[in-house]
Amino acid sequence: MSIKIAINGASGRMGLALIQACAQHEQTLLQAAHVRPSSASLARDAGELAGIGSNGVLFSAMPNCNEAASSEAMAWIDFSLPAGALDGLDYCLATKTPIVIGTTGFSAEQKQAIYAAGQTIPIVFAPNMSVGVNLCLNLLQTAASTLGDEYDIEVIEAHHRHKVDAPSGTALRMGEVIADALGADLDSRAVYAREGDIGEREKGSIGFQTIRAGDIVGEHTVMFAGMSERVEIIHRATSRMTFANGAMRAAVWLQTQPPGVYDMQDVLALS
């Protein structure tokens, strides 16, 4: 039996990749594709816009998505913006639909709403659905706990010119993993900007550098710099399909999970 998928943010770069991945995955079937009411894609064929040929699914507006197509969805995948993702979350709460959230840029209050919803429905909430990135998170934990505060740590991330939040959700998650391995809280260690006479680097700080340029899909480098050596853990994504395929995997996995908030470490059995 195919798992019927509803996608929110479906006409964006990630949304179109999700439509393609949904068509390619043997266990998933696109049921609904949602966009903002002002979207130029409204009422267009989702398959045609994604380059896979007509699939009979037309882009429909959020948050007014109570049509029969959405009500039949067995999983909801959201790669929109924080406000739109919370609209989708409300819909999933009302219909008891599992949801995969890959949207980033949430405030602390918005994240709390997601975790509260996890008491009612199963949720995969992860800033990056890539198998490779999630393997890197495990490697970062090992590196940070082994090298400790004797090594200066920098997280450098690069994305396309259209990405609106910085640092990326993935970079922040990497920082959280590192800080946790060091027995610290990221908020007490993070340094997000350097300009002018900044003085000597503070021991134990975790620096973040952001690049926004061209059509870069996603690159993350974590540098552990000692006095006589440097260790770097690097992940480069060359296609959004790596994230889209991971999201499909998460949607399938959620079908057998009880209410709760999970991440891709759980989906991939890496935790």
Q: What is the pLDDT of residues 174-229, one digit of tens each?
A: 999 999 999 999 999 999 988 999 999 999 999 999 999 999 999 999 999 999 99
Buried b / exposed e along 60-80 (16+ C-beta atoms within 10 A): bebbebeeebbeebbbbbbbb
Answer yes or no: do 146 and 169 share one domain.
yes
Answer yes or no: do 231 and 244 share one domain.
no
Answer yes or no: do 230 and 170 share one domain.
yes
Please tell me the predicted confidence (pLDDT) of residue 214: 97
Q: Where are the alpha helices (DSSP H) in the chain?
A: 13-24, 46-49, 68-71, 82-95, 108-117, 131-147, 169-181, 186-189, 241-254, 264-267
The CATH number that applies at residue 96 is 3.40.50.720
Answer yes or no: do 245 and 229 share one domain.
no
User: Could you give the number of structural domains in the chain?
Assistant: 2
Mean local confidence (pLDDT), 222-245: 96
Average pLDDT over all residues of the chain: 93
Answer yes or no: do 78 and 176 share one domain.
no
Please tell me the predicted confidence (pLDDT) of residue 65: 53
Mean local confidence (pLDDT), 80-90: 92
User: If we measure between CA atoms, which residue out of 126, 210, 109 comes closest to residue 163?
Assistant: 210
Answer yes or no: do 187 and 246 share one domain.
no
Q: pLDDT tens digit string along 59-75? A: 998 755 545 556 678 99
pTM of the predicted protein model: 0.82
Predicted confidence band of residue 55 (pLDDT cuts 50, 70, 90): confident
Active site members: 159, 163
Stretch among 61-65, 151-155, 162-166 having the lowest mean pLDDT? 61-65
Answer yes or no: do 72 and 159 share one domain.
no
Answer yes or no: do 161 and 89 share one domain.
no
Answer yes or no: do 168 and 106 share one domain.
no
Predicted confidence band of residue 140 (pLDDT cuts 50, 70, 90): very high
In this structure, what are the phi and psi dihedrals at residue 78, rounded to the nearest 5 degrees? -125, 115
In this structure, what are the phi and psi dihedrals at residue 17, rounded to the nearest 5 degrees? -65, -40
Mean local confidence (pLDDT), 112-124: 97
Please tell me the predicted confidence (pLDDT) of residue 71: 66
Domain that holds residue 53: 3-129+240-267
Please tell me the predicted confidence (pLDDT) of residue 63: 56
